[in-house]
């Protein structure tokens, strides 16, 4: 919101009221109770700039002109938190996300609560995690973070912006995000030149436009190239400005396996050690969690050698894996450390890792399978890793199927993995009692599906939540080639 534009509009409104303009007088009477019943002569003679400013503020969804002014130009010490999605339901989902993850939240999310909720201003991280925290509390955090006293005030502003194009124009951050979403690089860069402060402002959950641009550029169908990202960096965007979960642009690039974007961010000083969503949640770990070996290899060459076993196994570097074991075969303390990252988004349920050696070994085997590091598998199984373990939302075979690792799948089946094991994956509302065949079908990996069928996968198994077979899963997710192949095999 441009405060100078708002001031000009207030002056224009005042002149219109004093000249007897019917529309201007109607606006004054509608939004300013003091003038609701006053005659036109009294209005023309006594109305002031403060009255016009009050009307404009009320029309924009603010209780007063000072509230509008504070929203337009926050104090220098306050973080700029702007709307980029004008949808109360969407904002409510963010509220529920904070509620779900507070107990295991990282420092950034706890700081969000501490900064914006007065009751938690002086609380320690552990006190915030343990204290009662209701939906009303989470709503207040989001309201205050956006510059409003109450959730009702924020919801009113969001509804106004969503329904009134004139109000939407007063939200350059939202307009810029819309240009990014549509891949309109030219319009976005025009907005950025006209509003250079956009490069440093923060949107809902602390997301900068750079963070959002990297996330959008990682989606299928993006046609704006690296231009918006480069424009933001040139305009002075902080490449390491993390959102309220600690997530930086480099995390977003790692999450999407975008090596060109990651390289560009690294050239501009992106930090390799920034942590998000739990202890040890660096961009490298984000890449490894999802089996994105291309960007993981890029980051691994730039990062200090990770000390824990899951990272070493995910990178597939034999020397790093061996360093996680004492000469007697037991795990070193470092092998079990810094393993708090398990929630790349709120779809995954909370889970606290332990230092149980079996869990650490099983987890490392899963991570090696995600990235197809077959060279590490024998060492881990020899050390006691279980090829059928489900340490956290997915067995080694299921993750190998999700990540399209054909060689890894064959190795696991040759070494005793149960091809028809029902296990978990992802969120508890969509990954219960699934098999590797379900997941390969869901992701449309036809060669993996064919390999699993050749090795004895049972097509009749139904997952637990929706009682769907692999064929039904393929059909639901639109992978008709997989569906038709499975259907062609007959009953």
Residue 96 pLDDT: 87
β-strands 81-82, 202-203: how paired?
parallel
Q: Do 34 and 133 reside in the same domain of the chain?
A: no
CA distances to 48, 327, 454, 456 from 413, rounded to whole Å, are: 81, 30, 11, 10
Alpha carbons 468 and 461: distance in angstroms, whole number: 8
Alpha carbons 252 and 188: distance in angstroms, whole number: 20
Residue 1 pLDDT: 62
Provide DSSP, 74-99.
Answer: --TTS--EE-SS--HHHHHHHHHHHH
Alpha carbon 146 to its chain's center? 18
Q: Do 131 and 200 reside in the same domain of the chain?
A: yes
Is 451 part of a structural domain of the chain? no
Alpha carbons 239 and 234: distance in angstroms, whole number: 11
Alpha carbons 319 and 303: distance in angstroms, whole number: 16
CB-CB contact of 103 with 129 (8 Å):
yes
Q: Do 11 and 134 reside in the same domain of the chain?
A: no
Alpha carbons 275 and 282: distance in angstroms, whole number: 5
Alpha carbons 309 and 288: distance in angstroms, whole number: 12
Alpha carbon 431 to its chain's center? 20
DSSP label at residue 224:
S
DSSP label at residue 119:
G
Domain boundary, last residue among 268, 292, 317: 268
Residue 444 pLDDT: 96
Alpha carbons 478 and 165: distance in angstroms, whole number: 36
Q: What is the pTM of this model?
A: 0.82
Which residues lie closer than 8 Å to 267 by C-beta, 6 or more apart? none
Alpha carbons 259 and 272: distance in angstroms, whole number: 14
Is 136 part of a structural domain of the chain? yes
Average pLDDT, consecutive stretches of 10 residues, N- to C-terminus, the chain (491 residues): 76 84 81 69 71 81 76 63 90 87 72 89 87 92 88 89 81 90 91 90 91 87 84 94 90 92 95 86 92 93 82 93 93 89 68 88 97 95 96 94 96 97 86 94 96 96 94 95 94 72
User: Looking at beta carbons, which pairs linking 198-201 to residues 24 or more positions away fall under 8 Å?
Assistant: 198/172, 198/173, 198/235, 199/232, 199/235, 199/236, 199/237, 200/80, 200/236, 200/237, 200/238, 200/241, 201/80, 201/82, 201/173
Q: Do 7 and 133 reside in the same domain of the chain?
A: no
* CATH code assigned at 226: 1.25.40.20
Is 273 part of a structural domain of the chain? no
Domain boundary, last residue among 235, 268, 301: 268
- 409: tokens are 């799948």
Is 306 part of a structural domain of the chain? no
Is 191 part of a structural domain of the chain? yes
Is 318 part of a structural domain of the chain? no
Q: Do 50 and 91 reside in the same domain of the chain?
A: no
Q: Do 25 and 121 reside in the same domain of the chain?
A: no
Q: Do 104 and 30 reside in the same domain of the chain?
A: no
- 68: tokens are 């509008």
Measured from the Cβ of residue 80, the count of other Cβ atoms closer than 10 Å reads 16
Q: Do 129 and 171 reside in the same domain of the chain?
A: yes
Q: What angle do CA 210, 216, 222 make, to 5 degrees?
A: 125
Q: Do 109 and 50 reside in the same domain of the chain?
A: no
Residue 238 pLDDT: 94
Domain boundary, last residue among 268, 289, 309: 268
Alpha carbons 93 and 434: distance in angstroms, whole number: 27
Q: Do 263 and 228 reside in the same domain of the chain?
A: yes
**Domain limits at 46?**
3-72
Q: Do 205 and 106 reside in the same domain of the chain?
A: yes
Residue 79 pLDDT: 60
Helix axis angle, 259-267 relative to 209-217, nearest 10°? 150
Is 93 part of a structural domain of the chain? yes
Work out how many domains the chain is built from and give that number.
2
Q: Is 451 left (phi over 0), alpha (psi -120 to 50) or beta?
A: alpha
* Secondary structure (3-state) at 434: strand
CA distances to 14, 174, 349 from 47, rounded to whole Å, are: 8, 34, 57
Alpha carbons 156 and 310: distance in angstroms, whole number: 47
CB-CB contact of 485 with 450 (8 Å):
yes
Which residues lie closer than 8 Å to 312 by C-beta, 6 or more apart? 306, 320, 321, 323, 324, 335, 364, 376
Q: Do 12 and 109 reside in the same domain of the chain?
A: no
CB-CB contact of 228 with 217 (8 Å):
yes
Is 17 part of a structural domain of the chain? yes
């Amino acid at each position: 919101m441009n405060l100078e534009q708002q001031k000009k509009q207030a002056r224009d409104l005042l002149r219109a009221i004093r000249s007897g303009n019917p529309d201007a007088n109607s606006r004054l009477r509608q939004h300013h109770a003091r003038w609701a019943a006053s005659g036109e002569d009294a209005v023309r003679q006594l109305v002031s700039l403060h009255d016009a400013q009050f009307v404009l503020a009320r029309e924009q969804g603010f209780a007063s002109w000072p509230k509008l002014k504070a929203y337009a130009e926050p104090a220098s010490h306050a973080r700029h938190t702007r709307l980029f999605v004008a949808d109360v339901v969407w904002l409510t989902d963010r509220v529920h996300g904070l509620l779900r993850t507070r107990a295991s939240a990282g420092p950034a999310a706890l700081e969000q609560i501490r900064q914006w909720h007065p009751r938690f201003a002086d609380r320690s991280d552990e006190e915030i995690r343990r204290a009662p925290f209701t939906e009303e509390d989470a709503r207040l955090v989001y309201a205050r973070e956006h510059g409003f006293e109450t959730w009702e005030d924020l919801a009113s502003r969001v509804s106004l912006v969503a329904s009134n194009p004139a109000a939407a124009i007063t939200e350059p951050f939202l307009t810029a995000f819309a240009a990014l979403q549509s891949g309109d690089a030219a319009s976005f860069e025009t907005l950025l030149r006209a509003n250079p402060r956009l490069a440093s402002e923060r949107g809902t959950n602390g997301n900068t436009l750079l963070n959002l641009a990297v996330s959008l550029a990682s989606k299928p169908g993006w046609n704006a190239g690296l231009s918006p990202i480069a424009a933001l960096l040139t305009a002075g965007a902080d490449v390491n400005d993390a959102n309220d979960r600690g997530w930086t642009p480099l995390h977003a690039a790692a999450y999407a396996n975008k090596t060109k974007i990651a390289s560009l961010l690294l050239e501009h000083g992106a930090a390799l050690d920034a942590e998000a969503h739990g202890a040890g949640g660096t961009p490298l770990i984000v890449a490894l969690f999802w089996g994105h070996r291309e960007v993981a290899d890029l980051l691994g060459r730039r990062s200090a050698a990770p000390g824990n076993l899951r990272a070493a196994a995910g990178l597939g570097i034999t020397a790093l894996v061996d360093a996680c074991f004492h000469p007697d075969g037991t795990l070193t303390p470092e092998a079990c450390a810094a393993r708090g990252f398990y929630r790349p988004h709120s779809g995954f349920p909370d889970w606290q890792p332990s230092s149980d050696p079996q869990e650490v070994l099983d987890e490392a085997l899963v991570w090696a399978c995600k990235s197809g590091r077959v060279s590490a598998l024998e060492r881990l199984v020899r050390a006691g890793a279980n090829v059928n373990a489900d340490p956290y939302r997915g067995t080694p075979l299921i993750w190998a199927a999700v990540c399209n690792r054909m060689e890894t799948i064959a190795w696991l089946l040759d070494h005793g993995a149960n091809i028809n094991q029902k296990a978990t994956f992802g969120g508890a509302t969509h990954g219960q009692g699934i098999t590797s065949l379900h997941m390969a079908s869901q992701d449309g990996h036809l060669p993996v599906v064919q390999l699993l069928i050749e090795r004895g996968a049972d097509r009749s198994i139904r997952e637990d939540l929706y009682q769907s077979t692999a064929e039904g899963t393929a059909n639901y997710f639109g992978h008709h080639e997989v569906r038709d192949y499975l259907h062609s095999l007959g009953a």
